[in-house]
Amino acid sequence: MREFSVPENIKILKNEPLSRHSSIKTGGPAAAAAFPKTIQALIHLVRLANERGVRYLVSGNATNLLFDDRGFDGLVIFTGGLRGVTWSAGGVTADCGVSLTALARDAAAHGLSGLEFAYGIPGTVGGAVYMNAGAYGSEIADILLSSDYLRGDDVLTRGYCAHEFTYRSSIYRKTGDIVIRAVFTLFPGDPAEIRARAKTYMNARREKQPLEYPNAGSIFKRPPGAYAGALIEEAGLKGLRQGGAEVSEKHAGFIVNRGGATTEDVLRLMETVREAVFKKTGILLEPEVIRVPY
Ligand SMILES: Cc1cc2nc3c(=O)[nH]c(=O)nc-3n(C[C@H](O)[C@H](O)[C@H](O)COP(=O)(O)OP(=O)(O)OC[C@H]3O[C@@H](n4cnc5c(N)ncnc54)[C@H](O)[C@@H]3O)c2cc1C
């Protein structure tokens, strides 16, 4: 990566192991990792990277990413320090680095309903808009009003219809623009009832998901008319291991890091699972996790 200096108030770490930041705890070092604390700093970093021809990737909490074992030959910008939130009677505007789970919890405290499904999704607002994150029959597309995004030096606004939301996807997957903040429409409700609904979802997660081991959430997308986890379980693959990676015994839709797993282990295990499920059912599972090349 070409050298470039940044203002002292932006934290930059060189040769930063990405396994420290990814939820599945795999991935080699990034040539540089930046942790902006303001939107201005984020815009500044992106401008510098563009000017110097430095390759960059924006990540929220890296809960849906598989970083290469060699790392990332460029700059990874982690948005977790961008946490501005403004509440109104009909919703909330949240910066891209805001934790979805924290936002869902605070929405309940504000007596606003609509984000309950997101309580327990460990990503950020930016990652959730990009992925159209969803659970328990709801998704970001149900509540998003608009988002502000960075293209070049300009911060532009995209209305709901222009997001082209589909299952676990949005226009951002095509354009690569950076989500700066998002506006969500929420509905007034009783705080205790909202909290209770959110808790029910969280309890279901704790009961069904292997949260005791590092993982990247559902490894495969839900195929039409079926559940990836059920197909994998029916193929007898629970507990299958490759190096330190294992098809979770608790929920076959998850691959967990049982200790010392590499991204290569995870990818190989995914391939074995795909082949086995395809042979048995004719269904080809499509990865939900995003692989980040070196
Ligand atoms: C235990 C567990 C449970 C999970 N449960 C669910 C679930 O129920 N439903 C669900 O949908 N997902 C779930 N996930 C997956 C993941 O949390 C979501 O996809 C989440 O939206 C990703 O957010 P993130 O901030 O971690 O994004 P990252 O993993 O950091 O990034 C994901 C993608 O978004 C892009 N991105 C991130 N921020 C921005 C930005 N500001 N602008 C533009 N692009 C950006 C990245 O470049 C990358 O391509 C789960 C994961 C785990 C580990």
Q: What is the pLDDT of residue 11?
A: 87
pLDDT in tens, 98-118: 999 999 999 999 999 999 999
Which one, of 143, 135, 131, 148, lies nearest residue 63 by Cα? Answer: 131
Q: Which atom of ligand 1 is nearest to the CA of 136?
A: 8
pLDDT of residue 168: 95
Contact status, residue 76 vs residue 32, Cβ threshold 8 Å: yes
**Which domains, ranges and CATH numbers included, belong to the chain?**
11-78 (3.30.43.10), 85-205 (3.30.465.10), 211-292 (3.90.78.10)
pLDDT of residue 3: 60
Residue for token digits 């074995």?
272
Q: What is the pLDDT of residue 277?
A: 98
Q: How far is the CA of 196 from the centre of ligand 1 (A)?
A: 24
Say which residue the tokens 């998704």 belong to: 139
Catalytic positions are: 168, 218, 288
pLDDT of residue 9: 77
Which residue lies with its CA nearest to atom 43 of ligand 1?
A: 178
Mutation to probe ligand 1, out of 23, 59, 170, 256 (largest number of atoms < 8 A from CB): 59
Q: Which single residue is written with the structure tokens 């009003």? A: 145
In DSSP terms, 35 is beta-bridged to: 11
What pLDDT digit, counting tens, does each position of 26-46 carry?
Answer: 999 999 999 999 999 999 999
Please report the pLDDT score of residue 4 as a whole number: 63
Best probe residue, ligand 1, of 131, 158, 172, 290 (max atoms within 8 Å of C-beta): 131
* Pick from 103, 111, 160: nearest CA to 132: 160
Ligand 1 shell residues, CB under 6 Å: 23, 57-65, 79, 96, 121-124, 126-128, 130-131, 133-135, 172, 178-179, 209, 211, 215-217, 290
Closest CA to 218 of 227, 109, 226: 227
Q: Tell me the CA–centroid distance for residue 280 and ligand 1, in Å.
A: 30
Instruction: Write down the ipTM of this complex.
Output: 0.99
Taking 70 as the pLDDT cut, the residues of the chain under it are: 1-5, 7-8
CA of residue 63 to ligand 1 center, whole Å: 5
